[in-house]
């Protein structure tokens, strides 16, 4: 037998099989020059060669016949009959071939837009294939945390399993036969993914499996993507060639809930709220509310409002749209901006009290009265309006937050920040618009412990009780505490930083006491002044009374 007598390496065996058949007289090996074993091997190789030669020649003639028949078929078989022939061939093969194939092309739609389904499936397969497929393709991906992703190479196949059912995915490509003229750049090869499965699983695959794959693919893409920080372009720049309403950069703020210094209970409450929001798609639909949530962050400067927004974006994996209201010309522009934001995003308006004239309605009325009094020349009026910039009104902003348009897209968080919550119109911050009001306050002991752990890696220290006492007596924002905890030189250790903080706290306490004293003095002086003024008034009244009396007596 060949397999028994052939002892060469498999690669040599394959080499022998692939060698073309030799023509001519057989080679005679001299028994005197070869050992018996080697002779036997040579003989076996020789007979395999001969056998393969026959197979090759038969195969060659068969191929030639098939090609001839195919060429005749292509040339002479009538076109309309060919359609029927293909149809019946497919029906015939379907009897013996129980598998169904679904293909997903890379591009779809009129403008050769990249198919979302293809992208999602490819992401799903990339996540699953890198461990199982031998031939992988490395691709550079924009906007992803991993600059390189590995997907399966063309013509590779991967087996997947879903609810106990086996399915096969294959990546393929087609080179189009004819070149068509197009305005849009087309790649020569058309790539597609083919899913093969047994026909008895048709319902499972179409109803659940594909949805499962696409959802997983999208989730993986969301996990891997780099967050973006958008800002709105001034309304006057919207027309023209590019017409982009938002510009963006990669969002790289490192703030997280771990690094955020605040009361742990309050922090946990916020994280829970965010979790509930993220998982609340069905709930919001059930209660008939748009899937969005508003947060109002208020507190003195440097208490971590902006850091909180960054922590929320990183936690939720949402893009941030930083809306600069002063660059928005009017209410309709606000709506246009809203439409162009994506879901899974946070829309932020910082320092809302400074960005919009919340007494706009009243002012407008005053202006109107003035205008009626003295009509201006229209050119001057337009110039003045241009100078004034934004014409966004409070009602426009209210509509932006919870008008009908605000529901498009879904899964959006709106955040306002302010230093002066009392300045805001109650309508703007009522529950439903700003669902949760979060106060960011001065640094307490709990917040300090978080900062000490983050900045110095210290969880307890003998100086902590002193700091706790001083923090209770002063109002220092976390930004100042953090600054004091930053080592000022390479050799500075944690004790030095804590001492520097104590110094600053004592200084702040002294300053606050001095200021309180000064204020008390000023108040006292003002009170005395008022009393004096009152007395003088009474005196003056008394004098004038007497004069009246005197005058009366004269008359």
Find the binder of ligand ATP among 152, 205, 262, 505 (CB under 6 A): 262
- Give φ, ψ of 276 to 5 degrees: -65, -40
Does 306 interact with Mg ion (rule: CB under 5 A)? yes
**Residue range at the interface with Mg ion (CB under 5 A); choices 257-265, 298-306, 365-373, 427-435:** 298-306
Q: Please, which residue, 305 or 344, has the CB nearer to Mg ion? A: 305
* Least distance between ligand ATP and beta carbon 464 (Å): 18
Q: Which is nearer to Mg ion, 217 or 299 (CB)?
A: 299
Q: How far is the CB of 498 from ligand ATP (least distance, A)?
A: 17
Q: Is 260 or 323 the residue whose CB approaches ligand ATP more closely? A: 260
Task: Tell me the pairing of strands 228-232 and 319-322.
Answer: parallel
Q: What is the DSSP string of 53-105?
A: HHHHHHHHHHHHHHHHHHHHHHHHS-HHHHHHHHHHHHHHHHHH--EEEEEEE
Q: Which does 290 bind (CB under 5 to 8 A by kind): ligand ATP, Mg ion, none?
A: none
Q: b/e string for 153-166 if b means 16 or more Cβ within 10 A?
A: eeebebebebeeee
Q: Which stretch binds Mg ion (CB under 5 A): 41-49, 140-148, 306-314, 544-552?
A: 306-314
User: Which of 58-66, 193-201, 260-268, 276-284 is the region at the interface with ligand ATP (rule: CB under 6 A)?
Assistant: 260-268
CA distance 46 to 28: 11
Nearest to 441 by CA among 467, 477, 416: 477
> Do residues 150 and 138 lie in contact, with contact meaning Cβ atoms separated by under 8 Å?
yes
Output the CA angle 94-115-105, nearest 5 degrees. 30
Closest distance of CB 508 from ligand ATP, Å: 16
Give the contacts of 102 (CB within 8 A, at least 6 positions apart): 194, 195, 205, 210
- Closest approach, Cβ 306 to Mg ion, in A, equals 3
Q: How far is the CB of 349 from ligand ATP (least distance, A)?
A: 12
> Which part of the chain contacts Mg ion (CB under 5 A), choosing from 220-228, 299-307, 360-368, 477-485?
299-307
Minimum distance between the CB of residue 481 and ligand ATP, rounded to whole angstroms?
Answer: 8
Of the two residues 126 and 303, which places its CB atom closer to Mg ion in the complex?
Answer: 303
Shortest Å distance, C-beta 270 to ligand ATP: 12
Residue nearest ligand ATP by beta-carbon distance: 304
The CA–CA distances, whole Å, from 472 to 203, 263, 300, 447 equal 66, 14, 17, 12
**What are the backbone dihedrals phi and psi of residue 201, each rounded to the nearest 5 degrees, phi first?**
-100, 15
Joined tokens for residue 483: 């600054």
- Give dist(CA 152, CA 131) in Å, integer: 10
**Least distance between Mg ion and beta carbon 229 (Å):** 14
Rounded to an integer, what distance in angstroms lies between the CA atom of residue 508 and that of residue 467?
Answer: 13
Cβ 142 to ligand ATP shortest distance, Å: 29
Partner in contact with 301, chosen from Mg ion, ligand ATP, none, beta carbon below 5 to 8 Å by kind: ligand ATP
- State how far the Cα of 412 lies from the Cα of 348, in Å rounded to an integer: 11
Exactly one of 294, 302, 360, 409 binds ligand ATP (CB under 6 A); that residue is 302
Between residue 423 and residue 482, which ones bind ligand ATP under the rule CB under 6 A?
A: 440, 478-479, 482
Token pair for residue 262? Answer: 């605040």
Nearer to ligand ATP, 259 or 355 (CB): 259
DSSP sequence for 386-412:
HHH-----HHHHHHHHHSGGGGSS--E
Q: Which one among 128, 151, 303, 341 touches ligand ATP, defined by CB under 6 A?
A: 303
Q: Encoding tokens for residue 269? A: 């409450």
Lookup: tokens for 277: 């929001």
Binding residues for ligand ATP, rule: CB under 6 A, are 259-262, 301-307, 419, 440, 478-479, 482
Binding residues for Mg ion, rule: CB under 5 A, are 305-306
């Amino acid at each position: 037998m060949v397999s028994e007598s052939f002892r060469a390496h498999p690669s040599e065996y394959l080499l022998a099989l692939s060698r073309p058949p030799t023509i001519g007289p057989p080679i005679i090996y001299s028994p005197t020059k070869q050992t018996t074993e080697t002779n036997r091997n040579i003989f076996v190789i020789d007979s395999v060669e001969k056998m393969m030669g026959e197979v090759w020649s038969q195969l060659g003639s068969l191929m030639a016949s098939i090609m001839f028949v195919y060429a005749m078929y292509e040339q002479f078989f009538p076109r309309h009959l060919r359609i029927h022939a293909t149809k019946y061939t497919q029906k015939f093969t379907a009897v013996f071939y129980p598998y169904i194939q679904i293909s997903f092309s890379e591009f779809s739609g009129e403008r050769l837009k990249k198919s979302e389904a293809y992208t999602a499936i490819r992401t799903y397969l990339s996540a699953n294939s890198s461990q199982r497929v031998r031939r992988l393709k490395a691709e550079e991906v924009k906007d992803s945390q991993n600059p390189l992703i590995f997907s399966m190479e063309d013509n590779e196949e991967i087996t997947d399993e879903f609810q106990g059912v086996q399915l096969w995915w294959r990546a393929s490509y087609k080179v189009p036969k004819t070149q068509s003229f197009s305005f849009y750049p087309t790649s020569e090869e058309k790539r597609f993914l083919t899913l093969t499965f047994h026909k008895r699983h048709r319902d499972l695959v179409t109803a659940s499996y594909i949805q499962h794959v696409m959802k997983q693919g999208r989730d993986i893409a969301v996990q891997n993507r780099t967050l973006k920080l958008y800002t709105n372009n001034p309304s006057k720049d919207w027309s023209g060639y590019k017409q982009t309403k938002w510009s963006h950069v990669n969002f790289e703020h490192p703030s997280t809930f771990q690094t955020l210094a605040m009361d742990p209970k309050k922090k946990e409450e916020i994280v829970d709220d965010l979790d509930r929001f993220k998982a609340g798609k069905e709930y919001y639909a059930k209660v008939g509310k748009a899937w969005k949530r508003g947060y109002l962050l208020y507190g003195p400067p440097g208490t971590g409002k902006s850091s909180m927004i960054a922590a929320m974006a990183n936690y939720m994996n949402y893009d941030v749209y930083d809306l600069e209201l002063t660059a928005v010309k009017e209410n309709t522009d606000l709506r246009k901006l809203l439409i162009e934001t994506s879901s899974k995003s946070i829309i932020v308006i910082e320092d809302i009290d400074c960005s919009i004239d919340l007494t706009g309605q009243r002012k407008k009325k005053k202006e109107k009265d003035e205008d009626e009094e003295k009509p201006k020349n229209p050119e001057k009026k337009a110039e003045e309006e241009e100078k004034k910039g934004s014409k966004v009104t409070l009602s426009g902003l209210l509509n932006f937050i919870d008008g009908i348009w605000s529901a498009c897209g879904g899964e959006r968080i709106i955040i306002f920040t302010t230093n002066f919550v009392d300045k805001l119109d109650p309508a703007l911050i009522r529950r439903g618009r700003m669902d949760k009001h979060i106060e960011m306050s001065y640094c307490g002991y709990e917040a300090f412990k978080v900062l000490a752990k983050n900045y110095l890696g210290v969880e307890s220290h003998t100086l902590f009780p002193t700091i706790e006492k001083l923090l209770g007596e002063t109002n220092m924002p976390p930004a100042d505490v953090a600054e004091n905890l930053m080592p000022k030189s390479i050799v500075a250790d944690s004790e030095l930083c804590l001492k520097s903080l104590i110094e600053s706290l004592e200084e702040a306490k002294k300053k606050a006491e001095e200021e309180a004293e000064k204020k008390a003095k000023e108040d006292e002086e003002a009170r005395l002044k008022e009393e004096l003024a009152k007395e003088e008034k009474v005196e003056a009244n008394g004098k004038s009374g007497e004069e009246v009396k005197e005058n009366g007596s004269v008359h």
